[in-house]
Amino acid sequence: MTHPFDLSGKVAVVTGANTGIGQGIAVALAQAGADVALVGRSSADETAELVRGAGRRAALVKADLSTIAPVQDVVDQVIADLGGLDILVNNAGIIRRNDAVDFTEEDWDAVIDTNLKSVFFLCQAAGRHMIARGRGKIINIASMLSFQGGIRVPSYTASKSGVAGLTKLLANEWAAKGINVNAIAPGYIATNNTAALQADETRNRQILERIPASRWGSPSDLGGAAVFLASSASDYVQGHVLAVDGGWLAR
């Protein structure tokens, strides 16, 4: 007897799955029964081994999502390699830091193109396939800066605020077509991207003092939320941005 969180027979796509949050989500989806396509410009061999170790198929799809050029090819390759596309997780993203008065157009465009433009067009390409089949799950990775302003990351804040709005827009258009579109907003997660913050004694202490759970999150902490939003358990959840933050926003 299957349970509502069972992903057996499903094919998931996870972008930026070579490490960190993307790897944690990919492994969790595999452990729930999904075959997983790992999309990115960096090698995801380690993640592929973890997926296969969970008894599921893994496909490696090389793509640089700083432009939308490879988007349709990604969808086509996943369908060819794994036989379908049921779940899309838009995790790939970048960040550039500088004071707002000194922020360059180059850094603005690079972040917006990767974090927002490519996310939309990958949703569009996957959505066309899903709508034709009458079912599908899309999970965008938002941020605490989908809710807050932050400092020194203007393009990142703009992109992640855009991801939250885009998630709601797509849910409005596609819910009646059998497609669930939601987002996960990770809190402070211990990954390579946050290594400098963890190593900064003062900043690390300040962060931990605000998190009610009193610890940094790990990539695996996002797995349950991803499985929920990818499964039939979330069939009546639409346009929601789920914070997985140890209580950061509640504080």
Question: Tens of pLDDT along 108-134?
Answer: 999 999 999 999 999 999 999 999 999
Which domains does the chain possess? 11-191+219-244 (3.40.50.720)
Q: Which helix (H) or strand (E) holds 227?
A: helix 223-230
- Can you name the residues that pair with 184 across neighbouring β-strands? 141, 242
Taking the C-alpha atoms of residue 68 and residue 77, their distance in angstroms, rounded to an integer, is 15
DSSP letters, 47-116, are HHHHHHHTT--EEEEE--TTSSTTHHHHHHHHHHHHS---EEEE---------GGG--HHHHHHHHIIII
Percent of the chain with pLDDT over 70: 100
Closest CA to 213 of 177, 175, 245: 245
Over the range 69-106, which residues count as b (16 or more CB within 10 Å of their CB) and which as e? Answer: ebbeebbebbbeebeebbbbbbbbbbbbeeeeeebeee
pTM for the whole structure? 0.97
pLDDT in tens, 174-210: 999 999 999 999 999 999 878 888 999 999 999 999 9
For the segment 244-248, the average pLDDT, to the nearest whole number, is 98
The average pLDDT across 49-58 equals 98
Closest CA to 167 of 119, 130, 128: 119
Confidence of residue 2 (pLDDT cuts 50, 70, 90): confident
pLDDT attached to residue 192: 84
Question: Does the active-site annotation cover 156?
Answer: yes
Q: What is d(CA 79, CA 72) in angstroms, rounded to the nearest whole number?
A: 11
pLDDT of 60 above 70: yes
- What's the pLDDT score for residue 6? 98
What is the rounded CA–CA span in Å between residue 185 and residue 138?
14
Cα distance between residue 65 and residue 74, in whole Å: 10
Side by side, the strands of the sheet bearing 58-62 are: 58-62, 35-40, 11-15, 87-90, 136-141, 179-186, 241-244
Q: DSSP secondary-structure letter at 181?
A: E
- Residue 74 pLDDT > 80: yes
Residue 1: which pLDDT band, with cuts at 50, 70 and 90? low
Candidates 156, 174, 188, 216; catalytic one: 156
Token pair in block for residue 142: 């938002």
Please tell me the distance from the alpha carbon of residue 106 to that of residue 108, in angstroms, as a whole number: 5
Classify 237 as helix, strand or coil: coil
